[in-house]
Structure 1
Amino acid sequence: MNNFVMAIRHIMEKQHGKDIQRLAAVTVENHEHSLVLCEVQNDSNSNEQLENLCNKCIEPIISTCYRCCECNYSLHLTCAQLPNELKHPGHEEHTLKLVHISKVWEIIGCRACQFYTNGYFFECEICDYRLDVKCALLPTKIVHKSHKHALLQNYFQKSLITHWKYRGCLNCNGCGNRIWSSTYSFSCEPCNFYSDHACALLPHCVNHKWDKHSLILCFPPFTDHPEEIYCEICEEEIHPKYWHYRCRECDQSFHPNCIPRLGESRNMKFGRSIKVVGHPHPITSVRQGEFRSSCGSCNESLYGQRAFKCASCKYSLCFDCVPDLVDSGKLC
């Protein structure tokens, strides 16, 4: 079981005072079919586009889950029992409501991690405030392998404005990116250690089709590395101060953002199909367009970008063009 599922299970059991139920079948609002209890065997060498992800939190499913027998819809046991409303310390003014994205091409941005998602999210419609399921259920304190002390979650960084004024802007210890006052982060202020949500939520290990071994997230100082480290995907140098993934057996290193599963679309699930006007076949959402592929409507390059692709021919569309061409919302 992954760390996120364990964390939200603990939170829900603490709130409700009972174990997560294991029912033979469940029904979920906004999904037309029943879900049945089943075991999942994940193949570490499977196609990343078809990775088995939970439709609510967009985290990998690696054990018992609820699955729809008629479509690509699965849920963690815990996520199937998420509350419909949530009080969140980052938005104390109003209660957040659990919302489902119904359109295949629709995505929303999370206020905490700044990534887009097409999963479920908690929303305050009055304030236009949204958190994806993963960020909404994070505890206020976490233990992270990158630092010896527990890290506290900061909401909107209001307490750190004085720090910026006298000591300059804050930067994430994981990637070096600036942490803005409007974003969430984790910190150990006595040690001047800060991590944005994107880095704090990186998995400890991840599989990639370019390496038969699991890649391990590494933190400085790097005592077993050469002086210069290069990413196997983008072939650019990896900064010696920042986190990266490494396979010691194959002596390969990777920027976290270069691994497709951990890039800009890390909180999105792909594989849903839709029909569009002017094309005879269904098109399916994919994490990355192929080399030299372009949108059949606007002609923009889709290489490395999320897209919709036809399995029968080379036709592809970008996410922005799909709404104008959708065939009355017909799903496949």
Structure 2
Amino acid sequence: MSTVFFYILTKTQNHKRDTMASTKPVNRPSVRHPSHNHPLRVCKVRGEDEIICSGCELELTGHAFKCTKSDCDYFLHKSCFDLPREIDHKSHPEHSLTLLHSSPYGQPYTCDACGEYGSGFTYNCSECQYDVHVGCAFIPETVKREVHEHPLTLLYNTPCKGREDGAMFICDVCEENMSENLWVYYCKECDYGTHVHSCPVYEAHEPKNRGGGEAEASLEALRMQSVMAARDELAAMHIRNQIKNSVIQFGDEPRYKWVYD
């Protein structure tokens, strides 16, 4: 065998070995969460991916957890991954609310905060059948809108609740009647109130009499602004919780357990 041929053969074998080593799967850590049967792994989600969190059912961007199974579309915000198992909430002072990872009723539940359906995580009182989206549970207690000179305060029922004349509260943005038990952002001084999601931002940007596809697209964009605000509040809650507790507990076991596969 000539020296030149041996050199070429050796370089080819070395290159093939280096290529195989570089394509070998990285043994990255995965993590278990009680909401899902498969291990989860940290990933980064782009806005254009249009991924919905399986926990709060809000849009997901940035760092998150994804199921390690390629055919499973289970994703979680980091903030949803670290939600406390039990909370005391001002909306339901009689009992603590327990985090459930699915509806306890065998079908979608109705959120007692915003009135919308949910099929993901819920903070639940089993005794009262009271349910709150995790995205609703941590919305701010006050908000400021450009269209109104005073801050709006979060109320856990409309100001019309209990009125003997049966009067219904009307959202000052969408002008729809609201169930007396729904949460509302309200200014007592001006008797001005709105739904807790979406509506408070509509009035600042969208004339009520606009119609057609342009209006629908714009309203959808504004709805997502409200969704993102709720997601940001969840993230802020997660940071506060990390500061308060170095390890979050689930019962007697650590909140999460690292495994390698």
Q: What is the TM-score normalised by the length of structure 2?
A: 0.64
Partner of 1:230: 211
CA distance in 1 between counterparts of 2:177 and 2:65 reads 39
Structure 1 residue 220: deviation in Å? 6.8
CA distance in 1 between counterparts of 2:195 and 2:87 reads 23
Q: How does 1:290-309 map to 2 (within 5 A)?
A: none
State how many pairs are aligned: 195
- Aligned residue type for 2:139: L
Describe the SS at the equivalent of 2:93.
Answer: strand
CA distance in 1 between counterparts of 2:206 and 2:53 reads 35
CA distance in 2 between counterparts of 1:52 and 1:65 reads 10
Structure 1 residue 147: deviation in Å? 2.7
Structure 1 residue 170: deviation in Å? 2.4
Partner of 1:101: 102
**Residue pair 1:107, 1:118 contacting (<8 A) in 2 also:** yes
Structure 1 residue 80: deviation in Å? 0.6
Structure 1 residue 87: deviation in Å? 0.5
Q: 1:79 to 1:187 in 2, by over 3 A?
A: same
Q: 1:32 to 1:146 in 2, by over 3 A?
A: farther
Residue deviations 1:34-65 (CA, integer Å, cap 9, x gap): 1111111232xx6xxxx301111111111111
Structure 1 residue 260: deviation in Å? 11
Pairing partner for 1:34 from 30, 36, 39: 39
Residue deviations 1:105-129 (CA, integer Å, cap 9, x gap): 8311101111101110000000111
CA distance in 2 between counterparts of 1:55 and 1:27 reads 15
Aligned-residue Cα RMSD (Å) equals 3.4
Higher helix share: 2
Q: How does 1:239-278 map to 2 (within 5 A)?
A: 252-254=214-216, 259=220
* Larger RCO (CA under 8 A, 6+ residues apart): 2
Describe the SS at the equivalent of 1:254.
Answer: helix
CA distance in 2 between counterparts of 1:146 and 1:65 reads 35
CA distance in 2 between counterparts of 1:260 and 1:229 reads 15
Describe the SS at the equivalent of 1:91.
Answer: coil
Q: 1:221 to 1:254 in 2, by over 3 A?
A: closer
Partner of 1:117: 118
Structure 1 residue 137: deviation in Å? 1.6
- Aligned residue type for 2:112: R
Structure 1 residue 169: deviation in Å? 3.8
Residue deviations 1:282-332 (CA, integer Å, cap 9, x gap): xxxxxxxxxxxxxxxxxxxxxxxxxxxxxxxxxxxxxxxxxxxxxxxxxxx
**Residue pair 1:25, 1:66 contacting (<8 A) in 2 also:** no
Structure 1 residue 86: deviation in Å? 0.8
Describe the SS at the equivalent of 2:127.
Answer: coil
- Which protein is bigger by CA-based radius of gyration? 2
Structure 1 residue 253: deviation in Å? 1.9
Structure 1 residue 96: deviation in Å? 0.4
Pairing partner for 1:219 from 183, 204, 223: 204
Structure 1 residue 94: deviation in Å? 0.4
Describe the SS at the equivalent of 2:123.
Answer: strand
Partner of 1:135: 136
Task: Name structure 1 gaps, 5 residues minimum.
Answer: 1-22, 205-216, 233-251, 267-332
CA distance in 2 between counterparts of 1:262 and 1:63 reads 19
- Aligned residue type for 1:116: Y
Partner of 1:238: none
- Aligned residue type for 1:177: E
CA distance in 2 between counterparts of 1:54 and 1:156 reads 28
Structure 1 residue 101: deviation in Å? 1.6
Structure 1 residue 182: deviation in Å? 1.7
Q: 1:185 to 1:230 in 2, by over 3 A?
A: same
Q: What is the TM-score normalised by the length of structure 1?
A: 0.51
**Residue pair 1:175, 1:199 contacting (<8 A) in 2 also:** no
CA distance in 1 between counterparts of 2:206 and 2:80 reads 37
Task: Name structure 2 gaps, 5 residues minimum.
Answer: 1-27, 228-261
CA distance in 1 between counterparts of 2:145 and 2:203 reads 12
Q: 1:102 to 1:150 in 2, by over 3 A?
A: closer
CA distance in 1 between counterparts of 2:222 and 2:32 reads 29
Q: 1:96 to 1:52 in 2, by over 3 A?
A: same
- Aligned residue type for 2:192: F
**Residue pair 1:174, 1:195 contacting (<8 A) in 2 also:** yes
